[in-house]
Structure 1
Amino acid sequence: MRDPRLLAKPPVCRLGCLVLVRNPRGDVLLVDPDYMDGLILPGGAAQPNEPPHLAAARNLHAETGLNLRLADVL
């Protein structure tokens, strides 16, 4: 039996994104966030109902200051 309370408010879907930025030599852009040790690809969480490509571009800009048009979304 299905509980109607579960159908009234479905669980929140969390979406995260990472951005792979390479220069003409093939070097990969990494960031060093304050909240963890080590280097990682730029990215972060999407806001509710935010498309993945816009979330990726927003997070890239917030972490690096780069305003890039993203070519491919995987």
Structure 2
Amino acid sequence: MTDALPDTTTPLTEDERWQRAEDWSDYRKAYGVSADPVIRKSEHLLFCAGWDARRNRDPETHVEGSGRD
């Protein structure tokens, strides 16, 4: 069943790296992050995991406006 999983090994393009960095900056401005560097690193890793998951989603099964963008 692993054939159905998205390919998460595809490296980010240069544009995607910049976009993710910009999105992380916007997230920090909007929601703030912990002053503790260990927690902040964890927050960043979780943000990147979510960003990457959205990047790798299957466009055929995604429905715009479903509340799960």
On whether the aligned pair clears a TM of 0.5, the verdict is no
Instruction: Choose between structure 1 and 2: higher strand proportion.
Output: 1
Task: Tell which has more relative contact order, 1 or 2 (C-alpha 8 A, sep 6+).
Answer: 2
Category of TM-score, reference length = shorter chain: under 0.3
Larger radius of gyration: 1
* Structure with the higher fraction of residues in helix conformation: 2
